[in-house]
Each structure stands twice: as C-alpha cells, then as structure tokens.
C-alpha cells in the first residue's frame, strides 16, 4: 500500500516537471509558414556560380569536381577546342545521387560551384532531379560567395604553384614512412616506391 | 473435460524497415506465448560499404562511412581518419585534435540523448523523447554551423578537420553544455523514481559480466554490466589523456543501469567538452594532405570508444 502511495507521489512530481513547460514558448517552428534561417555553411543544393560582373559561368571545365565526387553525381563533357582550351559542352548534376558531402566545392579552385542553404526542391518525378547547367546557374544567381579566383592576368599562375605544393608533400610522407619503419624489408620499400605513380596523379590533373 | 491438443507453431518476426532500430529477422518457434526456439537472420543492414570503398580515394570514403551510423557519424569519420594517419604517420595539428575531441563528445551526447528519448518512448513515456530531441537540437545546430550538415558531417578528415569553427561556436557551445548538464538532472528527476519506469526497466534484459564478455559486447552496455573498460582511458587516442573525467560503471547489467550509465556519461562528456573549450588554442586545423592521398600498403588496427559500443 505504502508503495502505491509513494509511486503516486512520484508520478505527480513527474507531472510537475512536465507542467513547468506549460507556459513556455514552443521550441519548434510551424514549418511551411515559418522557416529557420540556414547557417552560412549549410550544405544544401549545389549551384553553379556566375561571375559577379559579367554573369558568365565561373566554371573552367577542369573536371576536378567530377573526379572528387564519391557518388559520381556530376557529369561533365568538355572537349578541347581548336585553341586547345576546354569548352564546357555538358554539365549535369544528378541530385538523386548527390550525397551533399561538399567535396566538389573543396576541389574547385575557381569558385565555380557551391553548396548553398537552399532546399525544397523535391519532386515526384525522378527525372526532374537531373539538373542541367542552366538550371544550376539560375538557382545560383543570387548566391553570395567569396571569389577564390586569381585575377585574369595571372590565370596561368595557380597551376604551377599547385604542382610545387604537391611534390614536397609526397616526399615528406615517404620519408616519414621510412623513418617510422627502420626495420622495413626490401619488399616494403618496393611497395612504397610503387605508390609513386599514385602520388603523381594530382600533378597530371593540375597540368590538365 | 478433455485436454486441448496443443502444438508448436512458427512466427516470422521482421525483417523491419532499415530505418527502424536493429533490423533482423527472427524465426520464432512458439509454444503458446512461450518462445521455444529462435533462429535469427542478420545482415539486412549490410550495404557493401567495404566494396564501395575499394575503388575510391581516401577522401571520397569518408562521406560514405558517415552512413555507417548516422547517429554518431563523427566517430565513423574519426576512426577511418585515424587508421589512415597511423598508416602514413601524419601528424595532426593541436587545434584539430581539440576540435575532434569536442565534436566526438558532442556527438556522444547527441547519441545518448537519442537512446534516452527513444527508450523512454518505446516503454511508453512520450515526454522524455520530446525533451531529449529538444536538447539534441542544440548540438545539431552547433554541427550545422561548423560543417553545414546535421547528420552526415564529413567533418573529420585525414590529417585534421575540414573547416575551422565559426566565431560564435565557443560561446554557444558553452551555453549548450551547461543547459544539457542541467537538463540531465531534470531527466533523472522525471524518470528515476517513476514506478512505471522502474517496473519496466529494473531486472529487464539482464546481461551479467561473463555473458557480456562472451558475447563481445562493448561500450556503455559492457560498463553497465560491471566491467570498467573504456578506451578513452585504457587505450587513449587523440588527446583524451589530457582531460579529467570519470568513467561511470554500474553492476546490475539491466536496462535501468544502462540508462543511468548513459545519463552519467552525458555529464562526463559535458565536462570533457568544457575542458577542451578552455584548452583550445589558435593554430592550423589540417596537416597538408593531398586530396588524392594514399598511404603505403600495410595493415593497421584502430579502435575508439563509440557511443554505442
């Protein structure tokens, strides 16, 4: 009997705690009417950015984002023209594949694409999730961004600096490995050497 | 009156939808309401992530590994990065280590809050679920502010972290930590002595120490069975050896002890985050690692204390 009374008292105490919240404001928002402000770094819809002055695409068709994408959501076709410059023929982003990891934005050296705080683009038709370059650009027109590009005069400059940076990196890593494994057998050193071509990959991409 | 003829019968339980907890199929042989035999079928959550990762670079793997466990994706990020760093001997900058510890512990709190809320909800108390998710939201806000996502962070990378914290992170984090410490006390007041809660948790799902070890249980469930083993202290990784925190241990191994242990762990994690916020200094957040980085061929084994064991 005493146990029941004690239990009832505790139940009432618990109700008291929930009762304290009665007069308080709700922490939730009534979504379609009220909307939360998305933080600056939100990773929502991917958009293509346009130049702030002339409104042309920032994309140089270097294909780095396509290579960085873990789910192969980006598809770029950019054949070299007669002047040996790449010309963007097709840029497609499949949002049914995109995982919003942001690696494409990090890979891009030309502020060409960005993950924004925009959302609400769900659709009943899966084909509508394949956005082409026009749609990506239109959605991104009002997006503010920090331009990472060097000025047009120095456009050639970033490429050599990249390759210079990547060389010592790979060297450092290699020496570290050898130092940490003083008892490394010949086989192991062979393996380290075999990684060389892999390290050289980014260089070739940079040049391309 | 003649005896009724009875016979055993089979019931299929599950498989449930992947978004529900613990997907498996149980083939139950029943004698009335008594389970006589169980044949479990597991593997419904196997998504061949290892195979997917085989033909991707290390940077590409991390967002995929987020999906291993979306409640504490930071740990999945971290354990993979740690393995890659150990293989290639990359030194992680000091500030990055602090940021990692802050994020890992915040994520542990978020995960334990999910445990607290959903367990209470499944038992029949809806209020704790609402409270727990409200507090978790503060942590999600911090993550969103830092890396832009709420569940699949892709934040901890090989060699450091992807982005530095924004300016208002530290003050907001301090407020969050103090609110959560307070609220945990409230949770305890709300449920610990509640007779319904006690009846439904004390002595239920008992797992004693020997059985827990035999089953290979780890994390909070192991500690609730009376074994004092926490990798943050016993096999320190990152900079956990610099912080002062306790490791709660309970001895009954039932649902109630696991619940108490997790609430205590939330408070300990709050302590760690508070200390880390004090100790953090300016500096680089990422070692120089090429995006197409690949360590030398070799083998390594890393283990960390995940919030779910």
Residue B203 pLDDT exceeds 80: yes
**Residue A186 located in a structural domain:** no
pLDDT per position as a tens digit, A123-148 = 999 999 999 999 999 998 888 888 88
If pLDDT is split at 50, 70 and 90, which confidence band does A1 have?
Answer: confident
Interface probe for A, chosen from B142, B296, B297, B299 (most Cβ of A below 10 Å), is: B296
Would you call B148 and A41 a contact, using CB atoms and an 8 Å cutoff?
yes
From B226, B229, B232, select the one nearest B209 (Cα to Cα). Answer: B226
d(CA A115, CA B119): 36
List all residues 6 or more positions away from B51 whose beta carbon is below 8 Å from its beta carbon: none
If pLDDT is split at 50, 70 and 90, which confidence band does B20 have?
Answer: low
pLDDT > 70 in chain A, percent: 72
Residue A26: its chain B contacts at CB < 8 A? Answer: none
Residue A184 pLDDT exceeds 60: no
pLDDT > 70 in chain B, percent: 97
d(CA A92, CA A25): 45
d(CA B156, CA A141): 31
Residue B63: its chain A contacts at CB < 8 A? Answer: 70, 99, 101, 103
Closest CB to B296: pick one of A17, A99, A195: A195
Interface probe for A, chosen from B91, B194, B292, B293 (most Cβ of A below 10 Å), is: B292
pLDDT per position as a tens digit, A34-68 = 998 899 899 999 999 998 888 889 888 888 999 99
If pLDDT is split at 50, 70 and 90, which confidence band does B272 have?
Answer: very high
Segment B244-253 mean pLDDT? 94
DSSP annotation of B243 reads S
pLDDT > 90 in chain A, percent: 31
pTM over 0.90: no
**Residue A110 located in a structural domain:** yes
List all residues 6 or more positions away from A155 whose beta carbon is below 8 Å from its beta carbon: none
pLDDT per position as a tens digit, B66-111 = 888 888 899 999 999 999 999 998 999 999 999 999 999 999 999 9
- pLDDT at residue B22, as a whole number: 59
Residue A29 pLDDT exceeds 80: yes
Would you call B292 and A102 a contact, using CB atoms and an 8 Å cutoff?
no
Residue B62: its chain A contacts at CB < 8 A? Answer: 101
- pLDDT at residue B273, as a whole number: 95
- pLDDT at residue B290, as a whole number: 84
- pLDDT at residue B19, as a whole number: 55
Q: What angle do CA A136, A43, A150 make, to 5 degrees?
A: 65
Q: What is the ipTM of this complex?
A: 0.82
Segment B223-248 mean pLDDT? 93
Residue B255 pLDDT exceeds 70: yes
Residue A118 pLDDT exceeds 60: yes
**Residue A78 located in a structural domain:** yes
B193 Cβ under 8 Å from any chain A Cβ: yes
- pLDDT at residue B136, as a whole number: 94
B150 Cβ under 8 Å from any chain A Cβ: no
- What is the number of domains present in chain A? 1
> Among A150-154, B285-289, B299-303, whose mean pLDDT is lowest?
A150-154
Buried-exposed string B132-157: b where 16+ CB fall within 10 A, e elsewhere: bbbbbbbbebbbbbbbbbbebbbbbb
pLDDT per position as a tens digit, A186-203 = 444 444 444 444 444 444
pLDDT per position as a tens digit, A57-113 = 988 888 899 999 999 999 999 998 888 888 888 999 999 999 999 999 999 988 999
Domain that holds residue A53: 31-119+126-139
DSSP result, B1-18: -PPPP---EEEEE-PPPT
d(CA B80, CA B23): 24
d(CA B239, CA B97): 7
| Mean pLDDT taken over chain B | 90
Would you call A103 and B147 a contact, using CB atoms and an 8 Å cutoff?
no
Residue B226 pLDDT exceeds 90: yes
**Residue A101 located in a structural domain:** yes
Residues forming CATH 1.10.645.10 domain(s) in chain B: 49-279
* Nearest chain A Cα distance for residue B109, angstroms: 20
d(CA A76, CA A92): 7
From A104, A98, A121, A113, select the one nearest A66 (Cα to Cα). Answer: A104
d(CA A58, CA B167): 29
- pLDDT at residue A191, as a whole number: 44
pLDDT per position as a tens digit, B113-162 = 999 999 999 888 899 999 999 999 999 999 999 999 998 999 999 999 99
Q: Is pLDDT larger for residue B33 or for residue A65?
A: A65
* Nearest chain B Cα distance for residue A4, angstroms: 9
CB < 8 Å from A in window 104-143 of B: 127, 134, 137
- pLDDT at residue A175, as a whole number: 44
- Helix B94-123 and helix B255-279: axis angle, to 10°? 150
- pLDDT at residue B17, as a whole number: 58
- pLDDT at residue B21, as a whole number: 60
Strands A90-94 and B25-31: unpaired
> Among A192-196, B47-51, B299-303, whose mean pLDDT is lowest?
A192-196
List all residues 6 or more positions away from B52 whose beta carbon is below 8 Å from its beta carbon: B64
Q: Three-state SS string across A32-95, please?
A: CCCCCCCCCCCCCCEEECECCCCCCECCCCCCHHHHHCCCCCEEEECCECCCCCECCCEEEEEC
Would you call B193 and A99 a contact, using CB atoms and an 8 Å cutoff?
no
CATH class of this structure's domain B49-279:
mainly alpha
Structure tokens at A205: 């991409």
> How many other C-beta atoms are found inside a 10 Å radius of the C-beta of residue B92?
23
In B, minimum Cα distance to A12 occurs at B194
In B, minimum Cα distance to A27 occurs at B134
Interface probe for A, chosen from B290, B293, B294, B298 (most Cβ of A below 10 Å), is: B290
B246 Cβ under 8 Å from any chain A Cβ: no
- pLDDT at residue B135, as a whole number: 93
Residue A173: its chain B contacts at CB < 8 A? Answer: 88-90, 293, 295
């Amino acid at each position: 009997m005493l146990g029941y009374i004690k239990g009832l008292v505790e139940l009432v105490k618990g109700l008291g705690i929930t009762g304290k919240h009665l007069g308080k404001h709700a922490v939730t928002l009534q979504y379609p009417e009220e909307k939360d402000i998305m933080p600056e770094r939100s990773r929502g819809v991917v958009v293509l950015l346009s130049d702030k002055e002339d409104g042309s695409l920032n994309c140089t068709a270097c294909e780095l984002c396509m290579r960085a994408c873990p789910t192969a959501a980006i598809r770029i076709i950019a054949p070299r023209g007669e002047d040996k410059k790449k010309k963007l023929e097709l840029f497609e982003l499949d949002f049914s594949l995109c995982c919003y990891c942001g690696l494409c934005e990090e890979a891009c050296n030309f502020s060409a694409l960005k993950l924004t705080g925009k959302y609400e683009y769900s659709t009943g038709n899966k084909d509508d999730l394949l956005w082409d370059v026009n749609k990506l650009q239109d959605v991104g027109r009002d997006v503010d961004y920090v331009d990472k590009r060097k000025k047009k005069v120095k456009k050639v400059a970033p490429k050599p600096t990249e390759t210079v940076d990547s060389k010592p990196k790979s060297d450092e890593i290699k020496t570290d490995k050898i130092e940490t494994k003083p008892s490394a057998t010949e086989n192991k050193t062979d393996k380290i050497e075999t990684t060389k071509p892999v390290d050289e990959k980014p260089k070739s991409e940079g040049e391309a | 009156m003649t005896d009724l003829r009875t016979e055993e019968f089979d019931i299929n339980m599950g498989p449930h939808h992947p978004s529900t907890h613990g997907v498996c199929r149980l083939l139950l042989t029943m004698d009335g309401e008594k389970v006589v035999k169980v044949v479990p079928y597991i593997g419904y959550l196997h998504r061949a992530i290892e195979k997917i990762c085989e033909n991707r670079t290390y940077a590409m793997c991390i967002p995929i590994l987020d999906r291993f466990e979306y409640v504490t994706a930071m740990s999945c990020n971290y354990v993979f990065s740690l393995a890659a760093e150990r293989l290639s001997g990359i030194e992680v900058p000091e500030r990055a280590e602090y940021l990692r510890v802050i994020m890992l512990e915040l994520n542990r709190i978020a995960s334990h809050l999910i445990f607290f809320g959903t367990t209470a909800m499944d038992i029949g108390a809806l209020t704790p679920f609402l409270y727990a998710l409200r507090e978790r939201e503060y942590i999600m806000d911090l993550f969103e502010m830092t890396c832009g996502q709420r569940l699949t962070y892709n934040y901890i990378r090989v060699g450091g972290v992807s982005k530095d914290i924004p300016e208002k992170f530290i003050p907001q984090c301090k407020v969050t930590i103090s609110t959560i410490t307070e609220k945990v006390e409230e949770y305890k007041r709300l449920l610990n002595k509640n007779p319904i809660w006690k009846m439904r948790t004390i002595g239920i799902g008992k797992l004693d120490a020997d059985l827990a070890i035999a089953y290979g249980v780890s994390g909070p469930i192991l500690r609730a069975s009376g074994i004092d083993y926490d990798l943050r202290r016993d096999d320190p990784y990152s900079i956990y050896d610099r912080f002062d925190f306790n490791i709660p241990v309970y001895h009954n191994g039932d649902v109630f002890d696991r619940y108490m242990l997790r609430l205590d762990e939330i408070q300990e994690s709050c302590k760690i985050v508070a200390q880390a916020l004090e100790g953090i200094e300016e500096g680089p957040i990422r070692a120089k690692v090429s995006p197409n980085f690949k360590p030398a061929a070799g083998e390594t084994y890393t283990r960390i204390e995940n919030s779910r064991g």
